[in-house]
Amino acid sequence: MSVSPATLPPVLLHPEAELARAALATPLLSRAVRLARWAGPGTRVGAGGELVDAQLPAAAAELGLAADDPDAAALASEAWRVAVDTGLVEVTDGEEEGAEGTVTPGEDLALLASGSPQDVLGVWLGALDTVYADATVPDMENLLDVLEEKGEVDFAELGWDPQAEADFLDGVLGNLYLLTVGDAAAGEGPVPLPALAASMIVPDDMGEPTDDVLEQVSDAMMKLDDQFRLFEPLGLVEYQPVDEALMAEVDDTAEPAPIDDEDVTRYGMVRLTPLGLYGVRARMLEAGVDAPAVGDLADKGADVLLEGTSGFPQAAAQAEIEQWLARHEPLGAARELLAAARGGDEGAPLRRLRCQQALSLVGAEAEPALREVLDDPELGGLARVWLAEHGATDVPAPSEALIFWLTIDTLAAQLAAEGNSDELQGLVEGLAQQHSGFFAQAWRVEHPATADVLEAMGRLHPDKKVAKEARKAAFKARSQQGL
């Protein structure tokens, strides 16, 4: 089903200057700009600001479209409407009712040449609003049929609910956004259109979809095919449309055809572009959705950085930390990070893991800060690890108690970051194998997460005997803590 905004990970956006160049290069906006620069006092527009039919051939020619191109007039009309909606041209209505209007250059036209990247992206977002509105209206042929028959439009008869259509498209783009920015997808490949449609239609707890659900998915795919065809010229998505032959096959049969896993590309493939990520996120923010971006914490304190990145996927946390470190000198950054990593609260182990990740990116200039905390019960372990990795030979050996404490802290951090992951299971198995008496000592560790870590080891370890030892140790830890 539609993704919950609470689950959105931070997105790594491309630089605004790069996005602005991409926006100007999109076919739809570039056509709108050409028409805005072409327009003048002699340009004929109707009462609604649209180019009159007699003006469309000249507009199409200005865009380099062939006179015999059946889509030329529609493309010119669409580009002109974007120019009007985004303020690239200003249309003044005629003085008399029904009279043609006049056209002058809009204020935003100059911004595209002399404004900032944000100005350019603002114009592009205006164009996105226009296309978004087009993508959620019913089929124009159906509208015209109803108008000719009844003289007015009954949207209920068309089966069109404006809010439901907008919500559906928002949900689809939200899911596509999540699939793009999430660590699992890593934004590397396009998403099959059937999977995207199913994410909106098929209930999470449904096993085998019914024929009715499959038909709904098929209908949603056809709708999305039309919508993504509209979005691609604006650079929101890269889209491989549904195979025309496949749509003919669908029209010829009343039964929903099963998806052919061997050739899923025939059913459409879509991905958000870097510009599309920017656009979808902008719409989310406007709607009040919390859609964080990498770099939001770059000007915050180390405490906010470590706390904020605790819930980030690994790659996003790394990118955020790198941006934060770029604004700080190494020694001061190390001291600030170490201070923020202290604590016995539930989130402290993951803060220390992110601190260790950040410290791995600073150079030898940070060494004094690490030596200052060698005797710290919470930070001494990670300080020794850092110093050893940087070639220090005079680091005092850790006590057995410190080794066990650091082990519990590390496992608690991994558990908080990844849950019961395969990586954590491998770590647990290796630890129990290397240290036969681990559980006999581990339950005594004075760490707030000791019992929780031992319980997790009991769940994760495949050997029943070892798992039982872990659970017994967890029970002892809770008894010792008075829980």
What's the confidence (pLDDT) of residue 149?
57
Residue 432 reports pLDDT greater than 50: yes
Please tell me the distance from the alpha carbon of residue 247 to that of residue 243, in angstroms, as a whole number.
7
Check the CA dihedral 130-132-137-139 and report its sign: positive
Could you read off the pLDDT of 66-78 as tens digits, one per residue? 989 999 999 999 9
Please tell me the distance from the alpha carbon of residue 35 to that of residue 62, in angstroms, as a whole number.
7
Residues β-bridged to residue 101: 45
Please tell me the distance from the alpha carbon of residue 37 to that of residue 461, in angstroms, as a whole number.
69
Q: DSSP for 363-426, please give it.
A: -GGGHHHHHTTTT-TTTHHHHHHHHHHTT-S-PPPPPHHHHHHHHHHHHHHHHHHHSS-HHHHH
Ranges 4-13, 23-32, 339-348, 473-482: which has the least confidence = 4-13
Indicate the pTM of the whole model.
Answer: 0.80
Nearest Cα to 381, choosing from 370, 394, 367? 370
Q: In what order do the strands lie in the sheet with 269-272?
A: 191-192, 269-272, 237-240
Which pLDDT band, with edges at 50, 70 and 90, does 85 fall under? very high
What's the confidence (pLDDT) of residue 5?
47
Which pLDDT band, with edges at 50, 70 and 90, does 1 fall under? very low
Lookup: tokens for 348: 């402290």
What's the confidence (pLDDT) of residue 185?
44
Please tell me the distance from the alpha carbon of residue 29 to that of residue 233, in angstroms, as a whole number.
8
